Amino acid sequence: MASILPKILRRKFAPGGKQKKSAKSPRPLTRSAAIPAKEDLGGKAVGEKKTARTQKLGDSDIAFKVLVRPRVTEKTTDLSQTGVYTFDVFERTNKVLVKKAVEELYGVKVKKVNLAHMPPKPKLVRGKRGARPGYKKAMVYLKEGDKIEFI
């Protein structure tokens, strides 16, 4: 069986086998040539903002990577009357991601987010040691008038 090394060498060093790199185009000298004018920004007026919320419940990709589930207990039910909602979140999430996820998923405005890491609790089951797993939870404070409806 013949080696394929000669074929590779022939392709690499044959005339026209390896192409030269093209020269880079020079950078524009003026800033105006590189950046479009304010009128040319896709037909949208500068300073125009979207007022209608187009996101619907369940359309968010980030929410399913950040939020595990809403935490429903007696304490969190009482807190929800004052505009504070509690969620279990994945361990590596931060406040910014939680805020984006809740705003996109539920269409509300978030005032602030507090995170708490709950450590694992040691337990005894039939005389043997075990541990209830730890978790991370987020307390989300909503702006006045916003509400999240769970089932």
Q: Residue 101 and residue 125: Cα distance in Å, rounded?
A: 37
Q: Residue 124 and residue 38: Cα distance in Å, rounded?
A: 67
More confident residue, 150 or 111: 111
Position 98 scores a pLDDT of 96
The candidate with the shortest Cα–Cα distance to 151, out of 54, 55, 56, 57, is 57
User: 62 falls in which pLDDT band (50, 70, 90)?
Assistant: confident
3-state secondary structure at position 102? helix
Report the range of poorest mean pLDDT among 30-39, 58-67, 89-98.
30-39
The candidate with the shortest Cα–Cα distance to 87, out of 96, 97, 98, is 98
Residue 5 has pLDDT above 50, yes or no: yes
More confident residue, 37 or 64: 64
User: 95 falls in which pLDDT band (50, 70, 90)?
Assistant: very high
The ranges assigned to domains in the chain are 56-146
Q: The domain 56-146: what is its CATH number?
A: 3.30.70.330
C-beta separation of 106 from 57 below 8 A: yes
